Amino acid sequence: MKVLLTCIFCSWFSLSLFSQVGKINKVKDPFVAIDSVLGQVLKDHVVAGFAVAVVKGNKVIYNKGFGYRDLVNKKPVTPNTLFAIGSSSKAFTASLLGLLRADGKLTFEDRAITLLPTLRFYNDEMNNQIVVRDLMAHRTGLSRYDLSWFLFNSKNRDSLITRVRYMKPSSGLRMQWFYNNFMYLAQGMIVERLSGKTWEQNIQEKFFTPLQMTRSNTNILAFQQDSDVSLPYTLSKDGEIKQIDYYNINGMGPAGSINSSVNDMSNWLKVWLNGGYFNGKEILPENYIKEAASSQMVMDAALPDKHKDVFLSNYGLGWMIGSYRGHYQVEHGGNINGFSANVAFFPADTLGIVVLTNQNVSKVPTVVRNSIADRLLGLEPIDWNGEKKAEIDSSRHVKKEEEKLPVPSTKPSHPLRDYTGSFENSAYGIIQISLKDKNLYSELGYEKVILIHRHYDVFDPRSVDKNGVADTEPSNLLFNFFSDVDGQIQGIGVLLDGSEKPVMFDRKISSVAVKM
């Protein structure tokens, strides 16, 4: 289902700065090799472009663009180029709650449904026990349910949040960490209810404006129309860079709709490296900074493995916590169609790094972050680029499980018109199927799809381009139509979000007038 720019830091300043922190940084000029390393990353990972900025204390000591924001037209990435930062937005949303707590509007131990009456969970135990901190630390027991918002998107937040009550938990409360974007939607809605302003207005007023993040926005149209915006790309199975469409997160904005540049994000990092202050003004309370950057929930055992000095995997409040080669690391990634991001800081070292790229689900942000961190922390550099490239190359050569082929000589059990209609699942949304020119069509997310018959009553929904041409690659989703005892089509089973059993979408019966 886009070269290189000159570095804007002064070499004399850089040498002076690092001579003052010689105890941490043993390398006299750590940036000598960085440009060549990052240039190699651009090549080896077949990425159109990326941008990076490094903050030390309250100073930006490095920022640069690599590659292109528009590959076809050879428009270069700059430190001001806009990228979607995806889930790196979560720290912003959680911080709004930190501000509300400072104002006495809530506590993190308040029941979530008390603050947001439109929010209800699967059972009374969850309703009675889930508090705000549980939403912030992903410890409600609810797994991702991402396809609920990704494939069945809506700009109506009230409509989206009502789906939560139908989401069955995968574990008990606070027993296991599960990432769930709906819990950040809920936080954004709590902010809206208590402040009387939209989440977008709060982000602008509390962060973008005071932090002079003049390039940043939360609006997909403003993003697309910007004069220095990156196009979204993915890497095809053949290893070719392919442009894809922007994705409008719409109502799920609080979970990841911020668009920004590395220059703007540098100011955000300064807040976290300086006890909540920016240019002498308090942006966030210092006690919240410490709390958000400390462990609230264990994500995974994350024992030392290949690299014995990289371990620990916990979650704070909108941040992930780890131990990186003897240094306390706080970071969060972000992925949304055509873009990947990583925002990280090392509190004890007053060092921050932000990497934004225009490659879908990319290893580049982690590779670049680690490569820079090694040199600035005075560590013996690990060939992170070579390691990740080798992993990717190896995965491409691993023998794939034999593809299950369609059963030949089968046909649908009903005329195609019998498969049309509305099919609904309360935790996800509605699949609307129509018949046109002897083909079945539907929509998934923002994509129009054609249902290609596979075998029996199983259809393969494939994307259709603006010229009406269907994708030649099979999709990962198959629609399996079910009939009742009378042989009438009554539902569709679809494997979603890694489920072992099909998620059922039941036919919606149209209301008709009854003659008395």
Listed by start position, the domains of the chain span 11-94+197-397, 416-507
User: 470 pLDDT band (50/70/90 cuts)?
Assistant: confident
At residue 30, does pLDDT exceed 60?
yes
Q: For helices 384-397 and 364-376, give the axis angle rounded to 10 degrees.
A: 150
Is 402's pLDDT higher than 70? Answer: no
Which tokens go with 47? 């990425």
- Alpha-carbon distances of 66 from 39, 104, 170, 360, rounded to whole Å: 7, 45, 42, 16
Region 41-61: what's the mean pLDDT? Answer: 97
Which H/E stretch holds residue 55?
strand 49-56
Residue 380 in tokens: 């013996």
Looking at residue 423, its amino acid is: F
Rounded Cα distance between 183 and 171, Å, is 16
Separation between Cα atoms, residue 170 and residue 109, nearest integer Å? 22
Number of C-alpha atoms within 13 angstroms, CB side, residue 252? Answer: 26
Instruction: Residue 49: name the closest of 67, 35, 31, 71 by CA.
Output: 67
The better pLDDT of the pair 390, 412 is held by: 412
Residue 281 has pLDDT above 80, yes or no: yes
Q: For the range 274-280, what are the long-range contacts, defined as Cβ-Cβ under 8 Å and sequence gap of 24 or more? A: 274/57, 274/58, 274/350, 278/210, 278/211
Above 50 in pLDDT, residue 3?
no
- pLDDT value for 2: 36
Q: What share of the chain is helix, strand, coil (3-state, %, to 5)?
A: 30, 25, 45
Shortest CA distance to 271 belongs to which of 293, 249, 255? Answer: 293
Q: What pLDDT score was predicted for residue 510?
A: 65
**Is residue 511 over pLDDT 80?**
no
**In terms of CATH, what superfamily is 11-94+197-397?**
DD-peptidase/beta-lactamase superfamily (3.40.710.10)
- Confirm if 60 and 412 have CB atoms less than 8 A apart: no
Mean pLDDT of 281-290: 98
Q: Is the pLDDT of residue 398 over 80?
A: no
pLDDT 10s digits, 349-372: 999 999 999 999 999 999 999 999
Residues 6+ apart with CB under 8 A from 66: 3, 4, 38, 39, 41, 42, 49, 50, 51, 52, 77
pLDDT at residue 49, rounded to an integer = 98
User: How confident is the model over 187-222, as pLDDT tens digits?
Assistant: 999 999 999 999 999 999 999 999 999 999 999 999
Helices and strands (H and E) in the chain: how many = 15, 23
Mean confidence (pLDDT) of the chain? 91
CA distance to 22, 146, 167, 453, 458, per residue, from 406 (Å) = 64, 28, 32, 9, 9
Q: What is the mean pLDDT of residues 123-138?
A: 98
Least confident of 37-51, 282-296, 345-359, 386-400: 386-400
Q: Which residues contact 12 (CB under 8 A, 6 or more apart)?
A: none
Average pLDDT over residues 241-250: 95
Distance, in Å, from the CA atom of 326 to the CA atom of 295, rounded to the nearest integer, reads 17
When pLDDT is averaged across residues 455-481 and rounded to a whole number, the result is 90
Strands (E), 337-467: 339-346, 351-357, 421-425, 429-436, 439-444, 447-455, 458-463
Confidence of residue 140 (pLDDT cuts 50, 70, 90): very high
Element (H, E) at 98: helix 90-102
Q: What pLDDT sits at residue 227?
A: 98
pLDDT for res 397: 56
Paired residues of 421 in beta bridges: 433
Share of the chain above pLDDT 90, in %: 83
Helix axes 384-397, 34-44, angle to 10 degrees: 10
Which pLDDT value is given to residue 10? 33
Residue 199: helix, strand or coil by DSSP? helix
Mean pLDDT of 313-329: 98
Burial 158-197 (b: 16+ CB within 10 A, else e): eebbebbbebebeeebbebbbebbbbbbbbbbbbbebbee
- 224's enclosing H/E stretch is helix 220-224
Supply the pLDDT for residue 279: 97
Binned at pLDDT 50, 70 and 90, residue 13 comes out as very low
Give the number of other CB atoms < 10 A from CB of residue 395.
Answer: 9
Q: Which tokens belong to 423?
A: 């099919």
Given a cut of 70, whether residue 154 has pLDDT beyond it is yes
Fold of 416-507: Lipocalin (2.40.128)
The lowest-confidence range among 84-98, 328-342, 462-476 is 462-476
CA nearest to 268, candidates 309, 207, 225, 350:
207
Give the C-alpha separation, 454 to 449, whole Å.
Answer: 15
The DSSP output letter for 415 is -
Please report which confidence band the pLDDT of residue 400 belongs to, taking 50, 70 and 90 as the band edges.
Answer: low
Q: What is the mean pLDDT of residues 235-243?
A: 91
Rounded to whole angstroms, the Cα distance separating 146 from 428 reads: 9
Which range (27-31, 114-118, 254-258, 407-411) has the least confidence? 27-31
d(CA 386, CA 43): 12
Q: Give the separation between CA 423 and CA 54, rounded to whole angstroms.
A: 49
Q: How far apart are CA 14 and CA 494, in angstroms?
A: 56
Count, residues in the chain = 516
Q: Name the nearest CA neighbour of 330 among 292, 277, 384, 275.
A: 292
Determine the Cα–Cα distance for residues 265 and 355; give it in Å rounded to an integer. 9
Tokens 């690990």, located at residue: 382
pLDDT of amino acid 483: 96
Which whole number is the average pLDDT over 234-251?
93
